[in-house]
Amino acid sequence: MSLSTALSIAQSALMNTARQTSVVTRNISDASNPDYTRRIAAVTSMAPGARSVDIQRVSNDLLFRQNLGALSAWSGQSTLYSGMDQLDVSVNGVDNASSPSTAIGNLQQALQLYATSPSNQNLGASVIDAAKQVVRSLNEGSRAIQDFRTQTDGQIATAVSDLNSLLSQFQDANQAVISGTRSGTDVSDALDQRDALLKKISDYVPISTFTRGDNDMVITTGDGTTLFETIPRAVSFTPSAGYTAGVSGNAVYIDNVPISAGIGGNTSASGKLAGLLQLRDDIASTMQSQLDETARGLITAFAETAPSNPDAAGLFTWSGAPAVPAAGTLVDGLAATISVNAAMDPGTGGNAALLRDGGANGAAYIANTSGGPSYSSLLIAYGDRLDKPMTFDPAAGISATSSVTDYAANSIGWFQGVRQQASTAADAKEALASRSAEALSNATGVNVDQEMSLMLDLEHTYQASARMMKTVDDMMTALLNAVG
């Protein structure tokens, strides 16, 4: 081996070591970055005595796909659970303190107390006050639900805007990967950026990917709808200014294909958008229907009756009064409009004794025909009706035959049951997302101890190359001196 060849080898070794050191240093500096993938500086032989460094990016497509799926599932589940938490407090209050079920229970107690002393008009006024609280609970609960739906609609609009922005950023990152691949430059940073964007996109919708020539990537949703192919596909949504009971929200479209809302407490929703759609159009709407059916049950239970006359709205009334709502048929928005009959409300000039005697709808409906102050039969009958089974619309999602008191309690039970399922599933899916991310990090992330050990090895290699150069330099100096 000539001295010039030996010098060239030593210089090449120093350059390769410098490149390897640069890669290891970069690995260490980005060790805490969850979107950074470890680089390996692989040394390959090119010719006798010559070597080059090829920078390779560690990847594991299987674990990455599993992590994307787990992230989507957790995002949809956590969106559902956090939304139900907010809805529960807004409608039912802390520990159900402001729920219709609690208010109906208080009304029933006031009614029983009035029945024991029907001549005491103060107790009659207390029943009216309790009825007002029931109405307030239904009215405010209905308003809270529709406000929640409007708020959720706004969150959907924001999520759609964010998703479109992410897809635009993905287009830039994907183009950088394609250009770098074609020119033969290192595209590790662009690949890291593209993978990081995929994680963010999977937070909104479930995705699947495949790679074509030049590392060009195509993204589809879980149901096969194209989300990105060369250019982003349009994600569109038209928000609503406000909501009322029975009004459905607008769909979210990806490339003109609607996104399906999630189903169930352990939701089928993958991604935030499906979870938000489930909250707006399923959970909140069903809760509204149950409030409407509770209101209809109350109007029916307290209706005034008379021989040869149709039942007429009594203590509780509505926009269709004096008629009573049809049995077993949901009336959308009834909970928002139910009110206490002004004829029985002392606060509006009414007479609470009409609850005891009947007659709010005319003389034909008077039950206490003798006018006795101790008459309690009608009050007892109202209390019995609250506990008497009646028919409810099965579209509201709970039992079709139940008493009003049980129905209001079952509504809370239904909601808490779904919420408990959502909570349990959220914990499980969060754990899966965490474990999959950990497994991916173990496979493709940076181990600082390993990198530091490699750094020591490179230091020794550098020292050996430097000694070799020093030896060659000494030999060349001696040769020149001898020639001189």
Rounded CA-CA distance 332/293 in Å is 9
Convert the pLDDT of each residue in 397-425 to its tens digit.
998 899 999 999 999 999 999 999 999 99
Mark whether 376 and 463 lie in a shared domain: no
The tokens for 475 are 């030999």
Mean pLDDT in residue range 437-460:
76
The domain in which residue 204 lies consists of 59-444
Convert the pLDDT of each residue in 24-69 to its tens digit.
777 687 778 888 888 887 766 655 555 555 777 888 899 999 999 9
Mark whether 466 and 350 lie in a shared domain: no
Mark whether 113 and 219 lie in a shared domain: yes
* CA dihedral for 198, 435, 261, 290, sign (positive or negative): negative
Mark whether 80 and 32 lie in a shared domain: no
pLDDT of 325 above 60: yes
The tokens for 477 are 């100096």
pTM higher than 0.85, yes or no?
yes
pLDDT of 432 above 90: yes
Confidence of residue 484 (pLDDT cuts 50, 70, 90): low
Mark whether 268 and 119 lie in a shared domain: yes
Mark whether 459 and 402 lie in a shared domain: no
Residue 343's pLDDT is what?
Answer: 95
Higher pLDDT, 480 or 435: 435
Mark whether 184 and 210 lie in a shared domain: yes
Rounded CA-CA distance 157/162 in Å is 9
Residue 319 phi, psi dihedral angles, 5° rounding: -70, -20
Q: Please state which of the ranges 16-25, 246-255, 262-271, 341-350 shows the lowest mean pLDDT.
A: 16-25
Per the DSSP assignment, residues forming a β-bridge with 45 are: 51
Residue 399's pLDDT is what?
Answer: 84
What's the mean pLDDT when you consider all of the chain?
89
Pairing of strands 207-211, 217-221: antiparallel
At position 218, the amino acid (one-letter code) is V
Residues 6+ apart with CB under 8 A from 206: 68, 69, 72, 73, 221, 222, 270, 271
Rounded CA-CA distance 217/210 in Å is 6
pLDDT of 90 above 90: yes
Residues 6+ apart with CB under 8 A from 325: 296, 299, 300, 318, 331, 334
Residues 6+ apart with CB under 8 A from 201: 163, 166, 167, 170, 207, 219, 227
Convert the pLDDT of each residue in 162-187 to its tens digit.
999 999 999 999 999 999 999 988 88
Convert the pLDDT of each residue in 5-30 to its tens digit.
655 565 666 666 667 677 777 768 77
Mark whether 346 and 253 lie in a shared domain: yes
Mark whether 208 and 255 lie in a shared domain: yes
Residue 382's pLDDT is what?
Answer: 96
Mean pLDDT in residue range 455-462:
63
Q: Quick one: what percent of the chain has pLDDT higher than 70?
A: 88
Mark whether 117 and 239 lie in a shared domain: yes
Confidence of residue 469 (pLDDT cuts 50, 70, 90): low
Rounded CA-CA distance 294/299 in Å is 9
Residue 139's pLDDT is what?
Answer: 97
Mark whether 426 and 459 lie in a shared domain: no
Q: Quick one: what percent of the chain has pLDDT higher than 90?
A: 75
Mean pLDDT in residue range 380-387:
95
Mark whether 51 and 83 lie in a shared domain: no
Rounded CA-CA distance 396/332 in Å is 11
Higher pLDDT, 54 or 442: 442
Query: Is the N-terminal amide bond of 232 cis, ω within 30° of 0?
Result: no
Rounded CA-CA distance 179/190 in Å is 10
* Tally of domains in the chain: 2
Dihedral of the alpha carbons of 412, 413, 418, 424, in degrees to the nearest 10: 120
Residue 445's pLDDT is what?
Answer: 77
Residue 53's pLDDT is what?
Answer: 59
Higher pLDDT, 7 or 427: 427
Residue 216 phi, psi dihedral angles, 5° rounding: -70, 130
